[in-house]
Structure 1
């Protein structure tokens, strides 16, 4: 006869419990801890379950003999009550709430979640559902301030959680990514922060559950391994059939040609020649390209054959700047894509390749700048069953820590996510109107004249935006208007408000090392030093770095500097904050390890462990800072990065410096949807794209001279019109970009269909305002 023990427990009793021991588990409050009976190599030794509510159960696992103390950056204090019962049936520990049931195998640690009708919601794989590998942060990732890092902070665990998933399951969320993918089932996604890329450790299923994992490090969804260079995945042959490499042909704009073998296509990073830690392993400049070859205006072709080890749909990732096309087996698998030279993009695609067959491959690259990037890698082939599992990998954490959230529908799942991470703030109503921005207004006169023209033309607009470099050229981080261009900022703000407008200003967490604010922060140890040590200069020619937003004191000082130079100084006349480069983006286009060295170590630990969470602590600084000096005004932040929980700081995200192509508009649709389904409700984009192809620039210049609309200008105007139509129906309705400027009268004349269309959709947005503001209230509640 099987013995069953049942404990009926109320939340009140749980909270007052001092701890009690049952046959296979220890109970303390609403925590249940199991010492596993079968500790496998690379598996967990302890599991701890926390019943957060009827619909939320937290799972922690460790390979150590106990759990480390830690404080979450994304989870808010949980004061809810949950009635549940616990019973043991043999080696099974069963937790039942009013909404679901979790079953833990006390021998192996395997967990299965059920609804109350015994339908499986989520099931860990029987073998290898939780795996761990010890991880030590490499010295070079810590960088120049390695002496500041205690030895214990250098050590943690890489972990992987692996679950079964039925064929008809779909997954959404993970943040904002640019590969035109909506359902992430069977896909791979590297989760890190970058300009145009926002990673959020939360995913929802069409089976009405979600998983939020409390990790801040670099993570991977899908394949836990890095993409491979082509020569590690395939046998390579050149265009003449000789084994070992592809043929690379480089022709510069003067017709000079270089032909050489290429065993991989990996020209992805630029390294500073001044860096000591880089020079130990990497050379300065773009890696691996022919020395002395002039990229701008050149044409490059990589061609030959690949021979696959197995039949598979191979999953590739393309990293590119300039114009790219890829043909495999004679088929155009990547139609022409473009990205500006200084801001490369990644794009994923998959294609079938047969085992043992020499399959033709051709990569066509036209660099579009003196510096440009190109890379093509491929995931190791996996079976369809492996691809379709739910797999989460985290590079470095003290333990595995995730929350299982159940619901009757996906709204309830998102509600559970916000129970854990905080309510979405209710924004000022004006934020739902039309915003006019450009890169960039260069004076107070620019700001006032453009807003006035909207009013004169009776075109609705709520917000006008001051982008970067309103400060003196060599004074990034001063937060001070340059007097020659902004002689009276208070008068400018008063003028904007007199026209019933609002004013948003760009503030970066970046400081040149010559400015007073840098020196004040640095005196407390609150600046990252690697970029200074390596003498890295930005595109304006000056040297600087970012502050350590993980330190509470640094956050208070950062806000005080903003307040003294902008907010209180100008009588609370700044209505919103544009928090740019909050990844943090100390330098573009560097290897992952060097990015970590540039943005750490942090006050909490290495940047390896805290790699993805900078934007949320930076948002904390501004949200609580403004509330501290003006508690009766709603806060609004727009940030280029995002993370789980950021909605509680009245923060929205936009999709960064995207390009002005039809495929980029298409990519924003899936990017915005998955960002919103990651629990973060307010998102927007640079309508019309930010980075502009030279052909569009030339077309506008030709029109300015001749008044003639050529084919490129006609396409430009339609692209802007279509993008504004799309933008009308996203949470933040904002146009922005480089030249040509994006005021509607600068896009097309008043009698042009593009002008009429953009104005019509602007007015439609305001007709929708009661509905939009009601929805914002529903999101908050």
Structure 2
């Protein structure tokens, strides 16, 4: 494929090739859109993920060289090979970031798009499995809807280049080099078609069909199943925070979750009544264990009316009173809802009468705006109007077909049967986008109904752009074993590096015991009575303390704290210790959440975010940064008990850790200072997950509280870790509602000047209703002195009234 001619237009470069056309459009100086078609002209496409105002006026130049055409902005250059139309991407200095193979790296292969025809002769088979109600249609007719293309975008990656992203999957892969990944939505698979590179760039593929990623014997490429043309965005960083910022510029900002969403969330399968929900909250309050949210899992509805969005009047006789009682206990309620409705409940009948159901006559058509509007109307009337606080949109990839049988199907077989089931009911070019549109309907519906509650929506699936709809994605119905826990760390990191900031999991895993089905694969038949499971649960909860959402959930065994022992026992005390630590860290965590919204920050950070200069971090998949200060190192091997409460003899109580270079580190528990750039064996007794703080960090700690909005008179502690200059932006607002979008929030920049031994608290910027005019601060300086020496502390109490002040330490 050769260049025939090219033309520079006002906002793009159009290149005519011997086989098609390439359109290169700058969206910003660092974001370039590339489209390739073999049709006679570039198509008109309304993107589901890219914001309509994402394209900015950009100055760019086009110059012809002996071998190619060079497209340049102030940040990025793209050279198009005249002989093959292969693209090479460089930064402004000419340093190569990535390239297509010299022979050309863009392939389109025509394919007929087949659609099912549903009519009065279509047979519907209703069933139920562990993943909920199911309805499958058996269409008798199929038609060719149109001709589209398989697309293949190839790359030549450097040997020293690490690549991350593509969403949350179940294999525990972090660096995608030398691997492949199948990108389709499924329980335990949440697809986000974005990857980022340690060479300082990211790629967003604007496709909603089945995709595959390869860097293996078959080549290095992204393949899409059904598209009218190739369409992707090149995002230059060079660091990961800038790449994420570019991604959110394209696909939308992440709104701020309410402060309570960062507290402890208690869930299980399942609380069955109004009385049980309230009594559980009261027990937390009685024991003085912090709690913000309790969750009502499936079957809030009556009997067999699966997917009905209302309360069963027998088990929830007065839902408005129930919500008043929950709120009086300073707690919130999250309720599970499903896109699948059957058994002729009122919601189902109304959807059917309006013609808003897909071909199985059970799943509502989230791709239709009027169907989304009706879905919200039903959810509002049956649930939200009573005062519930958050949504749990379960099964947002509603067409799984492999959750049965004793043997897990092979990966290629899972791909085939699941995507075939999805393609029955959805356009084959859009099977990955259902969760995106479902989330859009919930977000827009609630925003139109009220501005007093921020949208919180826990979803089992995700897609590019979904972050703008107030979603948190969780990793699906995982099983309780050490391997699964270990894998989850990398899965969450790859999700968050795509620019979707909020990810979580079922602390303790969903399936705890082992049963006949392949997915019911936990190692603990006795649940929380098994000391082996108690150890695993404690380690999982320690890890969960440093996730964006801190949530326990699962089946087979209860999950309340007192199920794991009583006060004075190591399991109970350690669980309570970490829940209380989470609450003391809320000023730090909520500030970071403010950065996510206002500065496009990422809370849960693969090490390359902060240590791209250190290649030793590229393949570390069981350590990560939580905000700017904390190096989190979950313990992922048993040290005390095997399953069956069998004691482990003489196991090491240490965990191998790498401390990234370029900074010193403090052991959070002992304040011992250590050099970066070294491997250590860290103490890891059950009560202690290894946790390190970067030198120069300023960490705000709040008092011991029982819920996120509790106001105590105790001072906020600012703990400063000496060793290099540092800063922290303390963010505060009302904690709920959308007044922050009107500028009603405050920020306080706090700086540590290491050479001067001085902490500077700058003038408070902004204000909000209910803001304190002054506050007492306890400043604690941690001085590790020489590495491995005994730490010393200096403390000062000050009153801060919003005006600049300096605190000197001698």
Q: How does 1:569-588 map to 2 (within 5 A)?
A: 570=386, 573-585=387-399, 587-588=401-402
Equivalent position SS for 1:770: helix
Pairing 1:635–2:455 present: yes
2:257 to 414, 420, 427: 427
1:622 to 439, 442, 445: 442
Distance 1:560 1:140 in 2: 29
1:35 to 13, 16, 31: 16
Q: Which residue of 2 aligns with 1:177?
A: 169
Q: Which residue of 2 aligns with 1:686?
A: 506
Residue 513 of structure 1: how far off its partner (Å): 4.2
Q: Which residue of 1 aligns with 2:34?
A: 59
Pairing 1:100–2:76 present: yes
Q: Which moved more, 1:606-615 or 1:643-652?
A: 606-615
| Contact 1:586 1:599 survives alignment (8 Å) | yes
2:367 to 550, 555, 559: 550
CA-based RMSD: 2.3
Distance 2:355 2:142 in 1: 13
| Contact 1:717 1:748 survives alignment (8 Å) | no
Any stretches of 5+ residues in structure 2 without a counterpart? 123-136, 404-412, 515-521, 599-810
Q: Which residue of 1 aligns with 2:482?
A: 662
Indicate how the Cα distance of structure 1 residues 154 and 761 shifts in structure 2: closer, same or farther if over 3 A, else same: same
Equivalent position SS for 2:188: coil
Distance 2:181 2:365 in 1: 27
Equivalent position SS for 1:510: coil
| Contact 2:196 2:203 survives alignment (8 Å) | yes
Q: What TM-score do the two structures reach when normalised by structure 1?
A: 0.69
| Contact 1:175 1:678 survives alignment (8 Å) | yes
Where in structure 1 do 4 or more consecutive aligned residues deviate above 6 Å? 140-150
Q: What TM-score do the two structures reach when normalised by structure 2?
A: 0.67
Distance 1:493 1:471 in 2: 16
Residue 632 of structure 1: how far off its partner (Å): 3.3
Q: How does 1:441-590 map to 2 (within 5 A)?
A: 441-530=271-360, 545-568=362-385, 570=386, 573-585=387-399, 587-589=401-403
Equivalent position SS for 1:164: coil
Pairing 1:76–2:40 present: no
1:112 to 70, 73, 88: 88
Higher helix share: 1
Query: How many positions carry a matched residue from both structures?
Result: 562
2:197 to 195, 198, 205: 205
Q: Which residue of 1 aligns with 2:98?
A: 122
Q: Which residue of 1 aligns with 2:783?
A: none
| Contact 2:70 2:77 survives alignment (8 Å) | yes
Distance 1:698 1:406 in 2: 50
| Contact 1:697 1:740 survives alignment (8 Å) | no
Pairing 1:162–2:137 present: no
Equivalent position SS for 1:671: helix
Q: Which moved more, 1:746-755 or 1:88-97?
A: 88-97
Q: Which residue of 2 aligns with 1:135?
A: 111
Distance 1:438 1:414 in 2: 34
Pairing 1:720–2:537 present: yes
Any stretches of 5+ residues in structure 1 without a counterpart? 1-21, 40-44, 224-380, 533-544, 704-712
Q: Deviations over 1:53-74 (max 9, x none)?
A: 1000001001222222221111
Distance 2:251 2:138 in 1: 32
Equivalent position SS for 1:47: strand
Residue 146 of structure 1: how far off its partner (Å): 7.4
Equivalent position SS for 1:182: coil
1:220 to 212, 227, 247: 212
Residue 636 of structure 1: how far off its partner (Å): 1.0
| Contact 2:308 2:345 survives alignment (8 Å) | yes
Distance 2:74 2:359 in 1: 52
Distance 2:374 2:138 in 1: 21
| Contact 1:195 1:585 survives alignment (8 Å) | no
Equivalent position SS for 1:121: strand
Distance 2:341 2:564 in 1: 35
| Contact 1:556 1:625 survives alignment (8 Å) | yes
| Contact 2:115 2:427 survives alignment (8 Å) | no
